[in-house]
Amino acid sequence: MKFVDEAFIDIAAGDGGNGCVSFRHEKYKEFGGPNGGDGGRGGHVFAVADPNLNTLVDYRYSRRHEAKRGEHGMGSDMFGAAGTDITLKMPVGTIITDAETGEVLYELLTPGEVITIAKGGDGGFGNMRFKSAINRAPRQKTPGWPGEKKNLKLELKVLADVGLLGMPNAGKSTFITAVSNARPKIADYPFTTLHPNLGVVRVGPEQSFVVADIPGLIEGASEGAGLGHQFLRHLQRTRLLLHIVDLAPFDDAVDPVTQAKAIVNELKKYDQQLYNKPRWLVLNKLDMVPTEERETRVKDFVKRFKWKGPVFEISALTREGCEPLIHAIFRHVQSEQRVENEPVEVDPRFAGDASV
C-alpha cells in the first residue's frame, strides 16, 4: 500500500430540514389548529482515531465527504428525521487544519478518540411552534440551517518515543529490525526505506517504547533534496533522537564526521525545536572495524565531531551493544513520561478561585 501522510479533503455536514405549515383537518374538530412539525437536524461529520490505520491514502483518492440533510417537517405533529452522520477514520497522530487559513483545528492523539469536525444544521421550526393565544392559526415556518462546510488539510505525524536519524545506508533499518518487531526492507544500497516504519521495542513485561525509522537524509534535505525532508515531521513528536552513524563506510573517501555534521545542519535548518530535542550518538557497524582499531576510531570520531552528549557503540547486524542502548532509552522515555504526568503546582492563593 502506498504511504501517504498528507491529503486535502472537502467536507460538508447536512443541512437542516425545513419546518412545515399544516393544520388539522379532522371530522368533528373545528379549528383543529396548527400541526406542522419541525425539520430534522442535518448529519454531522465525525473523525475517529483508528489505531489500525497508518496512512492517509484513502483520502488521496476520495476527497469529497458529505453527510445527509435532515428531512423536512410534516403535518400531524411529525418532525423530520435527522440526517445520517458520517464518520471518517484517520490514523492516530493526524493533524486537521483549515486549508485556507492554515489554522490547526484538531489533533487525533488518542486511539479511539472521536471529534466532530463539521456540525449539521439545525432543523427549521414548523408552524405549531408559533401558536399563541393571539395567533391561533400561524402560517409562519423557518427554513433549516445550513450545515458546516470546510476545506481541510490532513497531515500525519506518527506517534513514537524515539526517532532514528542518519544518512542512507547508515543501518537504521537494520537497527529497528534488530531491536523491534518492525521488518523494513534492508539492502546494500541507499534509499531502501521509502516511508516511515514504526517498531515496538519490548524491554520487559508491560515495558516497551516505539521507534520511528524515516528515510535517510542527505545534504540539502531541508531544501527538498532526497526523500527524508518529506518525513522529518514524523520526528517532531518524539522524546529522543538517535543519530546513527556508519563508522565503516564502504567508500574510503567518505568521512563519517562530515556526514554526521551534514545531518545536524539539515536538522537545524528544518526546525529549531527538532534540533533542540535530546539527541544521542550511535556509532554503528562496529563489526566492520577490526577489534584493535575500534577504540581509536571511536575516540577520533567523537573528538573531530566535537560531541559532548551520550555515545553508544553498536553493531545492529550482530546486535552487539544493542541491549545496553535499549535499556538506556527505556529509562529516558520513562523519565520523560513522569515529567509530563507530574501535577502542576497551584498557588494556594488562587486555589478554588473560579475567576482565575
Annotated binding site for GTP: 166-173, 191-195, 213-216, 284-287, 315-317
Residues annotated within the binding site are 166-173, 191-195, 213-216, 284-287, 315-317
User: Which own/partner contact pairs does 320-328 have at CB distance under 8 Å and 24+ positions apart?
Assistant: 320/286, 320/287, 321/286, 322/175, 322/178, 322/179, 325/282, 326/179, 326/201, 326/203, 327/203
Find the helix packing angle between 322-341 and 172-179, rounded to 10°.
80
Cell of 217: 537524509
Q: Is 174 helix (H, G, I), strand (E, B) or coil?
A: helix
Find the helix packing angle between 291-305 and 256-270, rounded to 10°.
40
Distance (Å, rounded) from C-alpha 66 to C-alpha 20? 25
Residues annotated within the binding site for Mg(2+) are 173, 193
Among candidate residues 340, 264, 265, the one with its CA nearest the CA of residue 309: 264
Cell of 121: 444544521
Cell of 221: 534535505
